[in-house]
Amino acid sequence: MGGGNRFQEPVKINRRRQVRKEKEEDEVNESFKSPNLEAERRRREKLHGRLMALRSHVPIVTNMTKASIVEDAITYIGELQKIVENLTEKLHEMEETPLEIYEQQTVHTIKPEVEAIDLKMEMKKTGIEENVQFCKIGKRKFWLKITTEKRPGIFTKFMEVMCLLGFEIIDITLATSNGAIIISSSVQILQGLCDGGSVDPQQTKDFLLEVMRSNP
Amino acid sequence: MGGGNRFQEPVKINRRRQVRKEKEEDEVNESFKSPNLEAERRRREKLHGRLMALRSHVPIVTNMTKASIVEDAITYIGELQKIVENLTEKLHEMEETPLEIYEQQTVHTIKPEVEAIDLKMEMKKTGIEENVQFCKIGKRKFWLKITTEKRPGIFTKFMEVMCLLGFEIIDITLATSNGAIIISSSVQILQGLCDGGSVDPQQTKDFLLEVMRSNP
DNA sequence: AGTTACACGTGATAC
DNA sequence: TGTATCACGTGTAAC
């Protein structure tokens, strides 16, 4: 049977709408006493509270209506999602652009995952080839440039090899781009060991190339 | 009198709960015909639709309940707000941090070790001071410059330390002059480990200075 | 059995 | 005046 309006009386609430009448102690009418009356009451209060909480979390509220609250929440969520999307996009953009000075006409839409195979393919795509240059620029001084695939530890290996060959690093520049690494350096043969004449540039170059190609 | 359950019959819906009975053409009962019956019906449908729409906008839904839908929406809004906050913070941080350089002169923290003092005296002779700069230039990127005494293996040690700290070398420049060495490098914290926020520039700088001062 | 959630129709209330 | 929203108690269905 019917709704609670049976007990409705013009009771004015502090703010809005009616609320259930103050508990009538003596219910002369047939009191069916639905078992879930109080539960339903709690449920309503709960939903009401949740809606109010939702309303408090939404900055722009066009109307106090339940449906409006939910609607505003939906639009607000949409705005937040859009903001998040834009921010992440900007962040990624700002994070990655400093590296890519290269023209964007090249199709490098590849994800910047650092996998050796992908790096090799990337090197092929960008036209970078493995290369070692080594030439004599002084009595004991040499200049070298190494272009190769970027692998972890490759630089340390280079340093070890140069130390093993008896070279002292005068200056060195290292740059990485698109999965490739370029090392250019001026080195000097240690004075105590021998002079520059005992260094065969071709042989040293081949050895360096061999080392760079070998796996760690 | 009471609710619409008066017309309730065990009509099974496709999904959940009961819905009002198919329009009974011949209402033999006293049809009070509340004027707002249909309006209330529309209102209910409207709210129901809004709640469903809200539900569709929230990725994580613990329960199909109305209150749960609203609750999940609240938590989701909270998460979105937090994400937006963090992203804007990082964005601002990324835009502004390049200005502040964490620089430390050796004068500030003096290690009373004999070698350190000797180094300092030696460097003073040539007018070069031991110095470490370390600043954040991106979300995961940092720039650093180290000026110290040129000693054998100091560069390899630097590489090992950076590897140990989880940094990846982006580019590096090394120059030697008058017994001093200058290393400037852009590094990037490994993505798998953590983000740039977990790197304390001041702490990293101090650690680098410590390492550079220690003997091999 | 017991509890929870829902839709229903209605009176009251606000605009 | 109507139109719209609300809280109410209840029957019913699902768990």
Q: What is the pLDDT of residues B27-67, one digit of tens each?
A: 344 556 678 888 899 989 899 999 999 999 998 888 889 99
Distance CA B56, CA B172 (A): 50
- Cβ atoms < 10 Å from Cβ of B10: 6
Query: Can you tell me the mean pLDDT for A6-35?
Result: 45
Query: Is residue B136 helix, strand or coil?
Result: strand
Q: Which two tokens stand for residue B120?
A: 């300092």
Kindly give, in sequence order, each residue whose CB lies less than 8 Å from that of residue A79, ignoring residues fewer than 6 positions away.
Answer: none
Q: Which of A124, A178, A171, A175 is nearest to A144 (CA)?
A: A171
* Distance (Å, whole) CA A45 – CA A101: 60
Q: What is the pLDDT of residues A105-158, one digit of tens each?
A: 222 222 333 333 344 555 555 666 788 988 888 888 888 999 988 777 788 888
Nucleotides of C under 7 A from a protein CB: 3-14
Average pLDDT for A36-57: 91
Q: Is the pLDDT of residue A29 over 50?
A: no
Question: Is residue A3 over pLDDT 50?
Answer: no
pLDDT of residue B169: 84
Model confidence band, residue A67 (pLDDT cutoffs 50, 70, 90): very high
Residue A96: which pLDDT band, with cuts at 50, 70 and 90? low
Tokens 């939910």 — which residue? Answer: A70
Q: Which residue is nearest to nucleotide D14 (CA to C1')?
A: B17
Q: Tell me the nt nearest to A12, Cα to C1'.
A: C13
Q: What is the pLDDT of residue B127?
A: 63
Structure pTM?
Answer: 0.47
User: Does the structure show a pLDDT above 60 at B203?
Assistant: yes
Higher pLDDT, B126 or A56: A56
Across A118-135, b (16+ Cβ under 10 Å) vs e yields ebeebbeeeebeeebebe
Residue B125: is its pLDDT beyond 60? no
> Are A73 and B54 an interchain contact pair (Cβ–Cβ within 8 Å)?
yes
Enumerate residues 6+ apart whose C-beta is below 8 A from B146. Answer: B131, B132, B133, B158, B181, B182, B183, B184, B208, B212
Compute the distance between CA of residue A20 and CA of residue A6 in angstroms, rounded to an integer.
Answer: 10
pLDDT in tens, A160-187: 899 889 998 888 887 777 677 888 888 8
The pair of structure tokens assigned to A8 is 């409705």
For A58, B54, B63, B79, B189, the CA distances from B75, given in Å and listed in that order, are 12, 13, 13, 6, 32
User: Protein A10 CA to nucleic acid D6 C1', in Å?
Assistant: 14
Q: How far is B75 from chain A (nearest CA, A)?
A: 9
Share above pLDDT 90 across residues of chain B, in percent, rounded to a whole number: 19
- CA gap B73, B67 in Å, rounded: 10
Q: Quick one: pLDDT at residue A168?
A: 86
pLDDT the model gives residue A191:
76
Identify the band that residue A68 occupies on the pLDDT scale cut at 50, 70 and 90. very high
* A188-197, B145-154, B181-190: range with lowest mean pLDDT: A188-197
Percent of all residues in chain B with a pLDDT value above 70, rounded to a whole number: 64
- What's the pLDDT score for residue B126? 57
- Give the torsion through C-alpha atoms of A129, A135, A137, A142, to 10 deg: 90
The answer, yes or no, to whether residue A31 has pLDDT greater than 90, is: no
B140: exposed, middle or buried (Cβ count in 10 Å: 0-12, 13-18, 19+): buried
For chain B, what is the mean pLDDT? 72
Q: Which residue has the higher pLDDT, B27 or B86?
A: B86
Q: Lowest mean pLDDT: which of A156-170, B88-102, B168-182?
A: B88-102
Contacts of A175 in chain B (CB under 8 A): 171
When pLDDT is cut at 50, 70 and 90, the band that residue B78 belongs to is very high
Which strand D nucleotides have any atom less than 7 A from protein CB atoms? 3-14
How far is residue B147's CA from residue B19's CA, in Å, rounded to a whole number? 79
d(CA B187, CA A144): 23
Q: Do B80 and A80 touch (CB under 8 A)?
A: yes
